[in-house]
Structure formats: C-alpha cells, structure tokens
Amino acid sequence: MLKEFIDFVESVLPTVEKDKVVEVKNAVTQFDFQNGRYVFATTDLLPEISQGDIISNIPFRYFGDDSTEQTFVADAMVLSVSCDIDNKNNILISPLMPIDAISKDASVINSIRNNKVYNYLYLPDVVMHDEVVWLDFINTISRKILYKGLKKAKFHRKVSLTQLGFYLFVLKMTVFLFRKEDAGTQNKRLKAD
C-alpha cells in the first residue's frame, strides 16, 4: 500500500523530484513490521495530545440541506499542529467513519484503502478498526472543552500515530489540500498575472 501511495503522491503533487521518490520508497523499509504489517497507529499514547491523535465521543455540527443545524458524535482525529494544540483556543478535528459506510463497491473501497480518494485518510492498522478519517469534514473544538472533557472522562484519547503514521498523515493532507490544479484553472491563474 505504501509504495503505491507514494507513486500516487508523485503523480498529484506539483513538484516531486524523481530521486526523492526513490529515496522515500527505500526509507519505508526502515519501519518495523508487526505480524506482517506496518504499524501506523498505537494505543501507547504520546505524553501530550498531538496531531493525528484519535479522541472518542467528539460532537460534530453542520448545516443540513434544509439549513437546519445537525449534530452527531464520532471519534475524531486531531488535525491541528501539535504546538497549536496548547497555544490556540480552537483545535481542528475531522470525524472517523467505517469504510463500509462510504461504499459497497469493491473498487471504491480498494481506492480508499490505497489512499487514492483525496478526502479520506485510511490508516491500514488494526487499532483503527477499518475506519477512515473524513478529511473534508472539518470542525473545531474549544481547547478548554476538549481538555475538560478528557479530565472528566467524557472524551477519551484512544490512539496516537507512530512516526510512519504521521508521515502518511502529512502526505495525505498535502495531497488533499495542495495537489496539482487542473490545467484550465492553472491557465486562468497564469492569465491573471
């Protein structure tokens, strides 16, 4: 999965040097296998809340098609940079959802599992229970509310990313937010200069 994802990243990012792609593919081999799999996440939590942590029972809000406010509760991944978590009033989060809730089509599921669907982050790790992070559904939660909820056990930190998981997270966020634009849009930008 990793080597295929690296090829995919190379194809969608504006500039990736060919020799760097080979270096990244070779670097992947440094990470440990456990039971024949790479380890992307761990229940051995980092000492502090960190980017990529999964926290349970987080409320999410959005406006439905009829303009009414809707809510749901889900596990969430922290998207904010770790140093912002302690220094900003709000923390960016995205919900997790079961992969089979997205589609029953095997080819779509396969594309999601290979991280080729831009708006979902799939971490192929047993502690993730075959869930994906829904990247284009971003909410904020007050830092004070989050810490208070953790202290009162309303919320629970479940998972932290390993270094390999963090690298995959960073690459996926880069692809999701900074991939190449289509040629038509790029040409319009050039003409605007």
Residue 121 φ/ψ, nearest 5 degrees: -105, 120
> What domains are there in the chain, each with its CATH number?
2-192 (2.30.30.110)
The predicted pLDDT at position 11 comes to: 59
Q: Which residue has the higher pLDDT, 92 or 191?
A: 92
CA distance 116 to 128: 18
pLDDT score, position 49: 96
pLDDT at 178: 78
The pLDDT, as a whole number, for residue 12 is 53
Query: Which pTM value belongs to this model?
Result: 0.82
Residue 36 has pLDDT above 70, yes or no: no
DSSP string, 84-144: HHHHSSEEEEEEEEEGGGT-S-HHHHHHHHTT-STTEEE---GGGTTEEEETT--EEEEHH
pLDDT surpasses 80 at 132: yes
Average pLDDT score over residue span 136-160: 96
Confidence at residue 172, expressed as pLDDT on a 0 to 100 scale: 87
* N residues, the chain: 193
CA angle, 165 then 140 then 77, to 5°: 20
Identify the pLDDT of residue 7: 65
Nearest-angstrom CA–CA distance, 131 and 90 = 25
